[in-house]
Homo-oligomer: A and B are copies of this chain.
Amino acid sequence: MPSKEATVAVLGATGAVGEQILRNLERRSFPVKELRLLASSRSAGKKVRFKGEEVEVQQASPEAFKGVDIALFSAGGSVSEAFAPEAVKRGAVVVDNTNAFRMDPKVPLIVPEVNAAEIGNHQGIIANPNCSTIQMVVALKPLYDRFGLDRVIVSTYQAVSGSGAAAMEELWEQSRSALEGKEAVKEIMPVGKLPRHYQIAFNAIPQCDVAEENGFTLEEMKMVRETKKIFGDDSIGVTATCVRVPVSRGHSESVYVELERDFQLEEVREAFQQTEGIILQDDLHRQVYPMPLEAAGRDEVFVGRVRKDTVHPRGLNFWVVADNLLKGAATNAVQIAEHLV
């Protein structure tokens, strides 16, 4: 339980994640002394509800962070780069939800279920990992602890909300167009800033971020690099294929791991079951397994389809689902903030 009240700023308050941060602060009864909602000039002046009251959104500026204890950032990487140092200079601790500082060696990259102990090492900025990484490492943690973790091969089924509220709207509109037999408008997916856009409705797009030199996407390499950093263990081999699917909220992941030690399937199930933050939904014979429609709106990470590999003696397969806007972003950020107060 948090022990003292804090002045909290939310930068990007009107975005898809920002909105979920506010709902999380309410739901988890975060001890907010004062709330400052910050955004670009475009959103300044808007009113947003918090605990039954209307709070006006202010334009972000360095001065707006004066007196702020905790600043939760989710307004894009360049905004974080501009304002995080200003907020820190004024005494705030920044919990940043963008990719700007994640791999900075001075910045702890935190998933509380995995490495809460690192939170204290911050120098003003704490990074929230990428959504697809967070839910995977929560599921990997009990395996890492009990059996050791050699390597991971993951294929993702990512919801469009990872690209923001406008992408959710695009999926909606494209679906409507397809049902009406009209040509879909394609403006955002797969990556807003790239030149080519494809229909995501009734499609699957094997690209969730820009390309890297090695033929992987940045999204895929985030899963590789962030997993090593969060566990503080460069020996974990991660291979990722990140794919966007026509789901609004909730990322799914097909995960194959090779563990270091032999295991019984029941031990693995028990390890998942005993882990705070994981809900095991694993009974294929009764058709029980996680699905994004069911995970949407929930804070936990859902694990199912747990089965011993038939090829590798220490291979294990499972399926992980979580709400990418909640545990994949807002919930994780607010959990970090809870550790700070």
A residues engaging B (CB < 8 A)? 151, 153, 155, 157, 171-172, 175-176, 178-179, 190, 194-196, 198-199, 202-207, 211, 214-217, 224, 237-239, 241, 243, 245-248, 252, 254, 256, 265, 284-287, 289-293, 304-312, 315, 317, 319
Contact = CB atoms under 8 A, between A and B. Distances in A.
Contacts of A292: 203-204
Contacts of A252: 204, 206, 243
Contact of A243 (B151, B157, B198, B217): B157
11 contacts: A155-B254, A172-B179, A198-B291, A202-B246, A203-B292, A204-B247, A206-B290, A207-B287, A215-B265, A239-B309, A239-B315
B206 A305 contact: yes
Given A153-B256, A175-B175, A206-B290, 20 more contacts: A157-B204, A195-B287, A203-B292, A203-B293, A204-B291, A205-B291, A206-B289, A206-B291, A206-B319, A207-B289, A211-B285, A214-B308, A215-B284, A215-B305, A215-B307, A239-B315, A241-B256, A241-B317, A241-B319, A246-B246
Q: How many chain copies?
A: 2
Nearest to A221: B310
Contacts of A203: 247, 291-293
